[in-house]
Every structure is written in structure tokens, then in C-alpha cells.
Chain A
Amino acid sequence: MRNYQQEGQRVKLILNIIVLGVALFSFSRRPDTYNKSSAFEVFMIDSITPLQHGVTVVNNQLSSFFEHYVKNVSASKENLMLGKRVSDLENRLFLTEEIRKENIRLKNLLEFGVEQNTRKILAQIVAWDSSSDYRVLRINKGVENGVRLQSTVVTSQGLVGYVFRLTKHYSDVLTVLDANNKIDGVVERIRVHGLLEGDSEAKIKMKYVTRTEPIILNDLVMTAGLGNIYPKGIRVGRVTRIERESYGITQSIELKPEVNFRTLEEVIVLAEPVNAQKKKEWSALDNSEEAQK
């Protein structure tokens, strides 16, 4: 009996060491900026997520029922107001279209750069991450819909995040609220750069901005386009708090995201076509880093 117990203890110790070793090795090798899933993980996520999707669909239909039939009292008044707003927006759209054409003409004149042919994929949020340490949402579009790893995700209000993990039919989006999502941002008014980092609540920190920069409350911060993930000029948030000490090099800045994550239901994925030149540059960079190691 005692031998049997000792044998069990020995097996337990060996298994603990093996599993801990494998987990520590994998933990140290885990990339921070994306997650390439194995075929089994892709299969499992694609099999489980329809359950999450189903619950979301049922909820949306119930909400839709209440929105359309129960709370439909002031719909006609709202309809009139929306009609006016549509005509106003149509006018603005016409002006914007003119500006866009002018912009293309001027860019061509200046040979400013090649315009990216970005595809816009509308996606619905089906779930949130099951760990509160991460601000990640799962959307119902994947590889088969044209989404790629590290594709930018936006709404009409501004930046949501980028695709961190991808399966055939679903993607996990690392939002701007996540502390692991680091973005090079620029203050629209004075073109000052800083590092944007989520702090897991409904705000974003802007780091490494020198104390002398004249940033004011309500300044708009946009993506700077550096880092090869986000395109330039997407709205991220507005400055809500500035803390300048009489000492030190930098100032502490907080932003409120332009996107309201509490009510977010649909997003747009900006799927860029595979750029052979960009791919070549990345693989050259990877190779040089490995050679240095």
C-alpha cells in the first residue's frame, strides 16, 4: 500500500515538473502582438463560438423586438428628424466627395504615395474575452471573409483595435483599451507624437509626451501610421486629463476613447490585400533579428 502511495507521489512530481516546464517554455516564447492558432485551436474556436454567437443573436432579436414594437411610440417624430438629418448628411457627403477627389488629384501631383486598396468588412461582436485582464472582443468574421492577422478594426467614431487571433469564421480583436495594445498616436492640433496604451478601464494613457508640449483638454488624438499596423489618421480619443509636474521630463495624459465600448455592437474590419513588398520587408527584418540573436 505504501509503495503504491509512493509510486503515485513520484508520478505526480514528474508530471508537475514536465507540465510546469512545458508551460514556462511556451509562456516565455509567446508573442505579444499576435497569436497564430494551431489547426486544432482553429477547429475548436470555430466549433464553440457558434454557441456564443447563438446567445448574442437571441439577445439581439429580443432587444430588436422591444425596440421595434414596444418602444415604438415616438418613431414618426424620430423619422422626420432623421429625414432632415439624412438630407443634411447627403449635402456634406457631396462636399466630402469633392474634397476626396481634390485630395487624389493633389496626391498624384505631389506623388505623395500609393493609396491602399482597403476592403471594408462589416462584423458583429459575438463575445468578450473571458479574462478581465484583457480587453478583447470576438467578431463573426474570419479568414474566409478576407480578414487577416493584424487587420485594423474601426467604427464610424474611431479606432477599435486590431485582429490579434484569427480562425476561419471568427477573429479576436485586441481593443485600444487593452494594456498590451500600444499605438503611436499624434495630437491633431499640434502634431505631437506619443505612445497610446489602454489601461483596461474606459480610458487610454498617452505616454512619453514632453512636459513642454502645449496639449489642452479635448485635443483630438489620432493614429500616426507608424508601426505598420494602423493606417494614419484614425481617431482614437480626446484628452480628458493632463498632469504636469514642476519636475520630470514627460506629462501624464489620459484620453477618453472616441468609440463607446459599452454600446458597441458592430465594427468594420479594414482588410488590406497582401502586399508582397511589405511582406518582404517584414521577413527581412525578422531574419536580421534572428541573425543578431
Chain B
Amino acid sequence: MNHQLKNLLTPLIITIIILILLEIISTVILPIVGLKYYILPFNILVILFLGFKVRTPFLAFLILILQYFHSFFTIEGWESGTIVGIFVCILIAYLKEFIHFSSKLATMLVTQIFQTCWFLLSSSLIYLRASDLEYISIKFWRFLPESILISILSPFIFSLLEKIWDTSEKGMLGGES
């Protein structure tokens, strides 16, 4: 477990730069090619990576910073993503013994499962605020293609982030790095 914040600073800055580039792709390049109604949530993918691979007590703080940078690209704000991200990472910490990344397919499957958890939690937050089930059902039909695409991309982006965070252990996750 990494207890020193200064050790996390360099990979965090590089991750923020990658997140900004991915956000530019999803907000400018994808709408140009016609994808205006399905936007890829790369922030979720990066936060899931941190939950899966980075063992540090400052995880909540890292999620907050990444969500804060994500909020420059959306009016959603940093709050809801931070709340959901922390809960999903707590869930990952409890289930880490059962999570395996033995193949690309396994990585995609695990990412899809935790994206579904993210969707359920964020929908609960929306329901608490707006009490609108119809909106959540519309959100679900958008979530399906978006999350599948994110899951397909996950092995490639995870391998890039593994190099940055130096967490390239094979097989089961949850071991101390």
C-alpha cells in the first residue's frame, strides 16, 4: 500500500493529462463523426482502474481530483461522480479476492460488471434528486452501448495506465504493490 502522497503525484499528473486528451476525443472528435448522443465516459474507466490496481489510502482524494478535472468538460459537476466512484471502489476492495484479470476478455467482463454497479449507484442518486424513473430508463438504453464500448477499450487503456502507475502484476488483483 502506497502511504506517501508525493509518490502518487507524477502518475496522477500524467493520468490527468491522459484524461484530458480522452475527454477531448469524446467531446469533440466523436461528435464530429456523428456520435452526439452516445458519449464515452472515460472518467469512469480511469477511476475503475485506480480502484482495481492502485492500493493507497488516498484513493478517495485521487477520485476527487480526477472528477474535478472531468467537471471542466461537463456541467454534471464533480460531486456525483466522486460519491459513486468512492462507493464503487469500496465495493472493489471488498470483492478483490474474486476479481481476476487473466485475459483481455476477463478484463472486459469485470469492467462491464463494475460499470453496471456505477450505473445503478448514479441512477439511485438521480432518483433521489429528481424522482424520475423514465429518465433512468432512457439513461439505461444509452448506458448499454457506451459501457460495452468502454469495456472493449478497457484492456488497452488499463495496460497504458499500468505502465504509468507501475502496477503491472499479472493475474489476481489485490496483492500489495
Q: List A residues at the B interface (Cβ < 8 Å).
A: 4-5, 7-9, 11-12, 15-16, 18-20, 23-24, 26-27, 30, 35, 41, 44-45, 48, 51-52, 55-56, 59, 126-134, 136, 138, 164-165, 172, 174, 179, 199-202, 261-262
Besides the known contacts A11-B3, A48-B73, 8 further A-B residue pairs in the complex with CB atoms under 8 A apart: A4-B3, A15-B58, A52-B28, A55-B28, A56-B28, A130-B23, A131-B39, A132-B38
B6 to chain A, nearest CB (A): 15
User: Which residues in A have their C-beta under 8 angstroms from that of B37?
Assistant: 132, 200-202
Q: B79 within 8 Å of A by Cβ? A: yes
Determine the chain A residues whose CB is within 8 A of the CB of B39 once the complex forms. 128-132
B-side interface residues toward A, CB under 8 Å? 1, 3, 20, 23-24, 26-29, 31-32, 34, 36-39, 41-43, 56-61, 63-64, 69-80, 82-83, 86, 90, 125-126, 132, 135, 138-139, 142, 146
How distant is B55 from chain A, measured CB to nearest CB, in Å?
9
A125 to chain B, nearest CB (A): 9
Say whether A19 contacts B77, CB under 8 Å.
no
Closest beta carbon of chain A to B90's beta carbon, Å = 7
B36 and chain A: residue at smallest CB distance: A128
User: In the bound complex, what is the Cα–Cα distance between A261 and B37 (angstroms)?
Assistant: 11
Complex Cα gap A167–B139 (Å): 29
**Partner of A129 from B27, B38, B79, B126 at Cβ < 8 Å:** B27
Cα A164 to Cα B53 with chains together (Å): 37
Asked if residues A134 and B76 are in contact (CB atoms below 8 Å), the reply is yes
> Whose C-beta in chain B lies nearest to the C-beta of A40?
B68
Choose among B24, B60, B77, B82 the residue that contacts A55 (Cβ–Cβ < 8 A). B24
A128 touches B31 (CB 8 A): yes
